[in-house]
Structures are given as structure tokens and as C-alpha cells.
Amino acid sequence: MTTLLAVPLLALLLPPTNAVGRASHVPHVRVRHAGVAPYLRDAIDGSAAIRRMVAILDASDVIVYFELQPALPLTLRAGVSFAGAGGRFRYLRVALNPGNTRGETLAMIGHELQHAVEIAAAPEVRSTAALRRFYKRIGMAGGTAETWDTQAAREMGRRVTREIERKY
């Protein structure tokens, strides 16, 4: 499972649409495409690990937007990219491959939320370049020069799969 970290630079501060997660003043885990909302709800309902990560993100300065990204190569199931920083918030985009199975999508939600939690714990990550440096330091190289991963994210994807399989 590789994580895409360098998508074209986006300085867009995306509006809060279809917020999903625990109620808070500013929900930090959101969806950009309505088709993602049922998967995110199932992930939150079925996994204690997902619920913990959403709570961590809700208490952080990181806001994560999940979206479907048909342009992802079939070999890349998901990826996180830095979308911008403004005011007191940092914004991430998680692209999910619409060719994923339901199980792959749920695992990738856990995997990518783990990356978001890693980034939330690194206040120095306020740009794509800083994100790249961060993952070069803590991660392992993926399939291309612009992809990285962490063992924690790989394990989180497996853990979420186990938790959801037990529930459903």
C-alpha cells in the first residue's frame, strides 16, 4: 500500500461539505464526494481505531478531505497530499481509487487516517515540500520518487480490516 504525497500543489481551502465524524465545532474529517460518505460512516461505525483517529484529528489543526480520484493508477489504492494551510488549520486531501473493493476502501480509510494523524503530530508540515521531507525522514520509499509509506499506516489498514470484519 503506497501513499501518494505529491499531487499538484493545491492552495485551495476547501469548503466543509458533507462532514462525517464526531460532532465538534469544526469537524476535521470530511468528504468531498457523496459516494465516499457511506464508506467513511461504515469505517467509523465498525472500527474503534478509526474512531480514535477521528477524535485525534478533531482535536488537531489538521482537516482531512476524502474524495474519489478516478485518475489514480489502478495500482495505487489511495494517497494523501498536502492541500494548503490557512489561519490555524492545515488541510489534507485523501484520494481514494474508485476501483477499490469495499474492503480495500475501508482499509485505505484507516491507512490514510493514520498518515493524517502522523502529519497532525508534526507541526512543521505546512507545505508539500515539508511533507516530502517529513516522509523521507520517517517513512519508507514507495514505488515512485513521489510516494512514501509507514509501517504504522500499513498495520492500521490491516487492523481496520480485522475490526470491521468482526463487526459485519
- Tell me, what's the pLDDT at 14? 35
List the alpha helices (DSSP H) in 48-141.
48-58, 102-120, 128-138
* 26 or 135, higher pLDDT: 135
- Tell me, what's the pLDDT at 155? 98
- Tell me, what's the pLDDT at 23? 45
Instruction: Give tens-digit pLDDT for 43-90.
Output: 999 999 999 999 999 999 999 999 999 998 878 899 999 999 999 999
Q: Above 70 in pLDDT, residue 4?
A: no
- Tell me, what's the pLDDT at 25? 56
Cell of 55: 477524535
Instruction: Give tens-digit pLDDT for 132-155.
Output: 999 999 999 877 767 889 999 999
Average pLDDT, the chain: 86
Q: Where are the domains of the chain?
A: 3-167
